[in-house]
Amino acid sequence: MGIDYTLTLAGDPPVEQLAQRALPDPAERPAGTPPLLSVNLDAARGFAVSVLARRNGYVDVTADHGQWVWQPKLCVSLTFHMDKQADPVWAVGGMLDVVGRVLHTGPEDATLVLNGDRLLLHRAGGALVRHRASWWDNYGVGDMFTG
**Alpha carbon 86 to chain centroid distance?**
18
Instruction: Compute the average pLDDT of residues 74-85.
Output: 93
Q: Locate the domains of the chain by residue range.
A: 2-136
Examine the pLDDT at 147 and tell me if it is beyond 60: no
Supply the pLDDT for residue 146.
65
pLDDT at 76: 97
Q: What pLDDT sits at residue 145?
A: 75
% of residues, the chain, pLDDT over 70: 98
Which DSSP symbol is given to 145? T
More confident residue, 83 or 131: 131
Determine phi and psi for 58, rounding to 5 degrees: -150, 120
Residue 2: per-residue pLDDT: 85
CB 38 within 8 A of CB 28: no
- Note whether 123 and 10 are within 8 A (CB): no
The pTM for the full model equals: 0.95
Query: Average pLDDT, whole number, for the chain?
Result: 93
pLDDT in tens, 27-73: 999 999 999 999 999 999 999 999 999 999 999 999 998 999 999 99
The backbone region for 126, taken as left when phi is positive above 0, alpha when psi lies in -120 to 50, beta otherwise, is: left
Q: Is the pLDDT of residue 140 over 90?
A: no
Q: Looking at the chain, which runs of residues are DSSP E strands?
A: 2-10, 31-33, 36-41, 47-55, 59-63, 66-70, 74-83, 110-114, 118-124, 127-130
Give the Å distances, CA to CA, from 75 to 8, 11, 58, 72, 147.
Answer: 7, 5, 9, 6, 25
Q: 112: number of CA atoms within 13 Å, CB side?
A: 22
CATH architecture of 2-136: 2-Layer Sandwich (3.30)
